[in-house]
Chains A and B, each alone.
Chain A
Amino acid sequence: MNLQLSFWDWLFLAWFLLVTTGVGLYYARRAGRNLQEYFLSGRDLPWWALGTSMVATNFAADTPLAVTGIVLQDGIAGNWLWWNFMFGGTLTVFLFSRWWRRSHITTEIELISKRYDGKAASILRGVKAVYLGLLVNSIIFGWVTLAMGRILEVVFDLPRPMSLGILLAITLFYTALSGLWGVVASDVLQFSMAMVGAIILAVLSVQEVGGLEILVKDIQTLGAYYDKDYLAIFPTGWSAFTGAVMVLVLVNWWAVYYPGNEPGGGGYIAQRMFAAKNENHARAGTLWFIFANFVLRPWPWILVALSAAVLEPAFLAGHAQGPYAPEKAYPWMFQVLPEGMLGLVVASFFAAFMSTITTTLNLSASYLVNDLYLPLTAGRKQSDRRQVWVARTAVGLVTGVGCLVAWQMESVSGGWELLMDVTAGTGLVLIARWLWWRVNAWSEISAMLSSALICLWTFSEDGEDLLFRWSREQEALVEPIRLLLILSVTTVVWLTTTFLTPPVSRKHLTAFFEEVRPGGFWGDIDLEAGFPKSRMSRDLILWGTSTMMIFGSLFGLGSALLLQTGAAALFLSLAAAGTLATYYFMRKPEPDWLQ
Chain B
Amino acid sequence: MRPYRPIAVGFYLLSLPLWLAVFLAGDRTGRWTNGLAAALFLALGFLLDRKRR
Known: A23-B7, A26-B6, A192-B41. A338 touches B33 (CB 8 A): yes
Within B16-31, the residues touching A (CB, 8 Å) are 16-18, 20-21, 24-27, 29-30
The yes or no answer to A170 lying at the interface (CB within 8 A) is: no
Q: Does A177 contact B (CB under 8 A)?
A: no
Question: What sequence of 0s and 1s flags, for each residue 166-194 of chain A, a beta carbon within 8 Å of any chain B beta carbon?
Answer: 00000000000000000001101100110
Contact of B21 among A188, A204, A340 (CB under 8 A): A340
A196–B34 contact, CB under 8 A? no
A204 CA to B27 CA in the complex, in Å?
Answer: 14
Interface mask (B29-53 → A, CB under 8 Å = 1, otherwise 0): 1100110110011001000000000
Partner of B30, one of A23, A185, A196, A340: A340
The verdict on A502 contacting chain B, using a C-beta distance below 8 Å, is: no
A12 and B6 CA atoms in complex are apart in Å by 19
Residues of chain B lying within 8 A (CB to CB) of residue A27: 6
Rounded to whole Å, the gap between the CB of A358 and the closest CB of chain B is 15
Complex contacts, B25 vs chain A, CB 8 Å: 338-340
The reply to whether B6 and A23 form a contact with Cβ atoms under 8 Å apart is yes
Contact A8 B37 (CB under 8 A): no
In contact, B26 and A185 (Cβ under 8 angstroms): no
**Interface pick from A14-22, A32-40, A76-84, A143-151:** A14-22
CB within 8 A of B14: which of A15, A49, A204?
A15
Question: Known: A23-B7, A189-B10. Contact between A196 and B40, CB under 8 A?
Answer: yes
Query: Which of B9, B16, B36, B37 is within 8 Å of A15, CB to CB?
Result: B16
When distances are taken between beta carbons in the complex, the residues of chain A under 8 Å from B21 are: 8, 12, 339-341
Q: Is A189 a contact of B7 with CB atoms below 8 Å?
A: yes
Interface residues on A, range: 20 to 34
A180 to chain B: closest CB distance in Å?
14
A188 nearest CB neighbor, chain B only = B7
- Interface contact B26-A339, CB-CB below 8 Å: yes
Q: Determine the chain B residues whose CB is within 8 A of the CB of A15 once the complex forms.
A: 13-14, 16-17
Q: In the complex, are the beta carbons of A185 and B7 less than 8 A apart?
A: yes
Min CB gap A488→B, angstroms: 47
- When C-beta atoms are compared, the residue in chain B nearest to A19 turns out to be B13
Q: How far is the CA of A12 from the CA of B20 in the complex (A)?
A: 10
Q: Which residues of B contact A12 (CB under 8 A)?
A: 17-18, 21
A262-303, CB < 8 A from B: none
| B33 close to A341 (CB less than 8 A) | yes
The smallest beta-carbon distance between A218 and chain B, in angstroms, is 22
A204 to B18, CA, bound (A): 17
A8 contacts which chain B residues (CB < 8 A)? 17, 20-21, 24
Q: Which residue of A lies closest to B14 (CB)?
A: A19
A418 near B: Cβ within 8 Å? no
Please judge, given known A-B contacts A11-B17, A15-B16, A196-B40, whether A338 and B10 are in contact too, CB under 8 Å.
no
Alpha-carbon separation in the docked complex, A338 to B35 (Å): 12
Q: How many A-B residue pairs have CB under 8 A?
A: 77
Cβ–Cβ contact A344 & B7, under 8 A:
no
| A200 interface contact, C-beta 8 A | yes
Given contacts A185-B10, A189-B14, contact A341 B37 (CB under 8 A): yes
| B10 touching A19, Cβ below 8 Å | yes
- Closest-by-CB residue of A relative to B18 is A340
Residues of B within 8 Å of A23, CB to CB, are 6-7, 9-10
Are the CB atoms of B6 and A204 closer together than 8 Å? no
Chain A residues within an 8 Å CB radius of B20: 8
Instruction: Tell me if A338 and B30 are in contact (CB < 8 A).
Output: yes
* Bound CA span A11–B25, Å: 14
- Mask, A315-357, CB within 8 Å of B = 1, is 0000000000000000000000111110110000000000000
Alpha-carbon distance A192/B41, docked complex (angstroms): 8
Return B1 CB to nearest CB of chain A, in Å. Answer: 11
Select from chain B the residue with minimum beta-carbon distance to A189: B10
Rounded to whole Å, the gap between the CB of B38 and the closest CB of chain A is 9
Contact residues in B for A341 (Cβ distance below 8 Å): 21, 30, 33-34, 37
Chain B 1-15 against A: per-residue CB contact (8 Å), 1 yes, 0 no? 001101101110110
**Smallest distance from the beta carbon of A568 to chain B beta carbons, Å?**
25
A193–B7 Cα distance when bound, in Å, is 13
Interchain CB contact under 8 A, B34 and A338: yes
Q: Which residues of B contact A22 (CB under 8 A)?
A: 10, 13
Q: Which B residues touch A200, using CB under 8 A?
A: 33, 36-37
User: Are B14 and A193 in touch, CB under 8 angstroms?
Assistant: yes
* Interface, chain B (partner A; CB < 8 A): 3-4, 6-7, 9-11, 13-14, 16-18, 20-21, 24-27, 29-30, 33-34, 36-37, 40-41, 44
A residues apposed to B, CB below 8 Å: 8, 11-12, 15-16, 19-20, 22-23, 26-27, 44, 49, 185-186, 188-189, 192-193, 196-197, 200, 204, 337-341, 343-344
Query: Can you sample 16 A-B contacts with CB below 8 Å?
Result: A12-B18, A12-B21, A15-B16, A15-B17, A16-B14, A26-B6, A189-B7, A196-B40, A200-B33, A204-B33, A338-B29, A338-B33, A338-B34, A339-B26, A340-B21, A341-B33
Q: Which 9 A-B pairs have the closest CB atoms?
A: A340-B21, A338-B30, A23-B10, A26-B6, A19-B13, A340-B34, A341-B33, A189-B10, A12-B17
